[in-house]
Structure 1
Amino acid sequence: MADIDWSRWTPVDRATLVFVLSGDDILLIEKKRGLGGGKVNGPGGKVDPGESVEQCAIRECKEELGIDVSELEQLGEHRFQFVDGYSIHCWVFRTSKWGGEPVETDEAVPLWRRTDAIPYERMWEDDHIWLPLILEGKAFTADWIFEDDTMLDHRLTLLAQAPGAPTE
């Protein structure tokens, strides 16, 4: 962590993740391609130019699962730095307001799981640290250093309220 000047850190990409909750269940995806292909995660993806992170989150849920989400609650903010130089700034949302039936697309396979049976062994190495916070409604910011799929270091800070998300 000390080797990176986080105050001047600038991401290559900006992205979102969304976790849809229904009672004791969570809607995950098995990602088919791109960063994290083959892993289980929430729907999400890169923010398009001129798009807010909330608009991105809504669009990605529609593209990846065919569902319409609303009343998004932004709880997490990640700064991922990979040793190969790639970096991504990611905002994490949760919601229990959604419509439509999740369907498989060319990007993702929908996976409903009980919140007490989340397949962390199929997810990114950091997910078991922060996803329980999302389920509990706790806000946080986190910095992560990865080499390929391996987490090398991290710093997570709990917040009294959700970190502010940029509008564009």
Structure 2
Amino acid sequence: MIPSPVDWESWRAQIHATLMFIIRDGEILLIEKKRGLGAGKINGPGGKIDPGETPLECAVRETREELGITALRPVKHGELHFAMSDVPDILCHVFLARAFEGRPHETEEAVPLWCRLDEIPYDRMWRDDIHWLPRLIDGRKFHGRFVFEGEEVIWQDLQLDVFWP
């Protein structure tokens, strides 16, 4: 493996954020983001953690705000560290739920998009997603570090079967 261009020992995220993925009946609930970082891309609902809020509380809140639903019994499956060239560095907590209350609907922030698990539109997503999202779908826990130059991943490290406290 080539050495990382980032000193991960001293790296500190400027933004702490979350993503929530809901899988049910062989499909995954994604969003087409309408504004903010990643506008126009497909992703899971999520966003910045507010002061005093836990990552889990944020993931549930953001899913409610972006899709109008409440994720039930979400479980943390990953942490993603993003060293970005053109936006502040991000630490993202990734959650998976298999049930929810409500009916997903379009909001000012997002358009809901159900996809079959074998038809995920990776070509419309962030370039790192193809590396870790299949692991999430398989129920694995992970820790990923990605270095971006613009839209491209120039370095990555993905560790599987990580356990969270």
Residues in 1 aligned to 2:161 and 2:22: alpha-carbon distance in whole angstroms = 22
TM-score (normalised: structure 1)? 0.93
**Residue in 2 that maps onto 1:33:** 35
1:21 to 6, 23, 26: 23
- What is the aligned-residue RMSD (CA, Å)? 1.2
Counterpart of 1:96 in structure 2: which amino acid? Answer: R
**Residue in 1 that maps onto 2:156:** 154
1:132 to 129, 134, 140: 134
TM-score (normalised: structure 2)? 0.95
Residues in 1 aligned to 2:162 and 2:63: alpha-carbon distance in whole angstroms = 27
Residues in 1 aligned to 2:21 and 2:102: alpha-carbon distance in whole angstroms = 15
**Residue in 1 that maps onto 2:45:** 43
**Residue in 1 that maps onto 2:62:** 60
Unaligned 5+ runs, structure 2: none
Residues in 1 aligned to 2:128 and 2:41: alpha-carbon distance in whole angstroms = 12
Percentage identity across paired residues of the two chains:
47
**Residue in 2 that maps onto 1:84:** 86
Shift of 1:27: 0.3
**Residue in 2 that maps onto 1:122:** 124
1:113 to 104, 111, 115: 115
Residues in 2 aligned to 1:97 and 1:103: alpha-carbon distance in whole angstroms = 16
Shift of 1:24: 0.2
Q: In the alignment, is the contact (CA less than 8 A) between 2:4 and 2:155 conserved in 1? A: no
Q: In the alignment, is the contact (CA less than 8 A) between 2:69 and 2:102 conserved in 1? A: yes
Query: How many corresponding residue pairs?
Result: 163
Residues in 2 aligned to 1:4 and 1:130: alpha-carbon distance in whole angstroms = 20
The CA deviation string for residues 63-109 of structure 1, in whole angstroms up to 9 with x for no partner, is 00000112111111000011236200001111112010001001000
**Residue in 2 that maps onto 1:11:** 13
Residues in 2 aligned to 1:78 and 1:116: alpha-carbon distance in whole angstroms = 23
Shift of 1:59: 0.2
